[in-house]
Amino acid sequence: MQRLLKRTAQAQRQAARRARQHAKRMEVGNQAQTRDSIRQAVNEVKENAKEARAALRDAWEMGPIAPKRDAFRDYGVIKSRLRQDWSNFGTRSTNPKVVEQRCAWAGSPKQLNLAAGDRVVILDGPDQGKIDTIKEVNVETGTLQLEKYNQGLMEGMFNSPPRSAAMPISIDAVRLVYPLTNPETGVTRDVVIHQLKAVKPNMQSDNMTFDRWHHGKRWDRVVPALNTVIPWPEVKAPEYEAQLADTVREQVEQRTFYYGLLSPPMPEDVIDELRNKYSRFRTRHEDWYVEQKEQEAFTKERRHELLRAMQTPLDEFHEKRRADRDAAGEPELTDEMLAKLGELMSEKKAAVLEQAGVSEVSSKQ
């Protein structure tokens, strides 16, 4: 049984070492691929700038007879590598500090006060000042996608025509737009909100809900300067139609297995399916298997004892010598041995120098 446990521990160490080596190779490969992508993106930006300068010069010098550059198929197409977020260079995820800075005005990445369906105004880029609706929010990278603006023509795969796709924009580049009523004039108009704060929900308010289809937010978003609660956008629950192959909720909640305190939490066949019965990493075994292994070890030990009882005088002599050698341990060099080795090395060095015709003094110089 000890041999079996030793084999399992060795298999676990080998698997862990292979996993570390694979992760290291993947990390090195990802870094190399990222460097190549950044280099290609920079080169493409330079080429686009060069083409833009050429188009501007042609339009100025040639006027109406300037070439129609927008007639080409790939005119204005953006490569996919230009849309990537390069703030996570060398890592597998975006830097948490960068994400926190992007989400600072809307709370924090853990309590982001933005959701799909909110109206926002764009502060940076060619679409600055335009109002659009949020299509998707990516909290992990601190970016979002809009429905109408901040679009780009993406190159298609397998020579397919370019298509329009939403490009990610930083959360810090937009601000929430919501209609608020002026208490003095009573006029309701869109207001740009530059700061949002997450607070504990007011259970008596109609703005708070625990329904999962209302974003499942367990906090209210408030404008700190006005102390006004901004309601979350409404979301319609999707409608599903159960098919014959679907498992409905009644079947999931129906109890089909009963067990007591003396029985395992699930049938043994299910345990064998979840955990490989013949895996090298298995540490828990049945009683009959443990008893079988112990019996095998006992039989092996008994056989060894019988072989020892049938030893010849020569075998006993060799065994005694091995025992004495193991008891003596590793040999140690005494001072006399070290001095003798030094003399032999000096004599050999002098003989080699004499044979080469070089004196020891000249070799030191």
Query: How far is residue 286's CA from residue 293's CA, in Å, rounded to a whole number?
Result: 11
Beta strands of 49-91 (E only): which ranges?
77-78
- Classified as helix, coil or strand, 202 is coil
C-beta of residue 219 within 8 angstroms of C-beta of residue 199? yes
CB atoms within 10 A of CB 143: 20
**Residue 17, burial from CB neighbour count under 10 angstroms (0-12, 13-18, 19+):** exposed
Q: Which two tokens mark 300?
A: 């092996």
Number of Cβ atoms within 10 Å of the Cβ of 142: 26
pLDDT for 363 beyond 50: no
pLDDT digits (tens, 9 = 90+) for 272-289: 888 888 888 888 888 888
* Cβ-based neighbours of 122, under 8 Å, separated by 6 or more: 128, 129, 130, 131, 132, 146, 149, 150, 169, 173, 174
Dist CA 80 CA 163 (whole Å): 12
Residue the block writes with tokens 């992760």: 23
Whether residue 361 has pLDDT greater than 70? no
E strands within the chain? 77-78, 119-122, 131-138, 143-146, 151-154, 163-166, 169-170, 174-181, 188-193, 197-199, 220-223, 228-230
Query: Quick check: helix, strand or coil at residue 168?
Result: coil
pLDDT over 60 (residue 90): no
Sheet of 188-193: strand order equals 169-170, 143-146, 131-138, 119-122, 174-181, 188-193
Q: Does the pLDDT at position 364 exceed 70? A: no
> Mean pLDDT, to the nearest integer, of 67-76?
64
Higher pLDDT, 212 or 319: 319
Please give the mean pLDDT across all residues of the chain: 81
Q: Is 112 exposed, middle or buried (0-12, 13-18, 19+ CB in 10 A)?
A: buried
Residues 1, 42: Cα–Cα separation, whole Å: 61
Produce one character per residue of 186-208: b if its CB has 16 or more CB atoms within 10 Å, e if not: eeeeebebebbbbeebeeeeeeb
If one compares 156 and 283, the residue with the highest pLDDT of the two is: 283
Q: Tell whether pTM > 0.85.
A: no
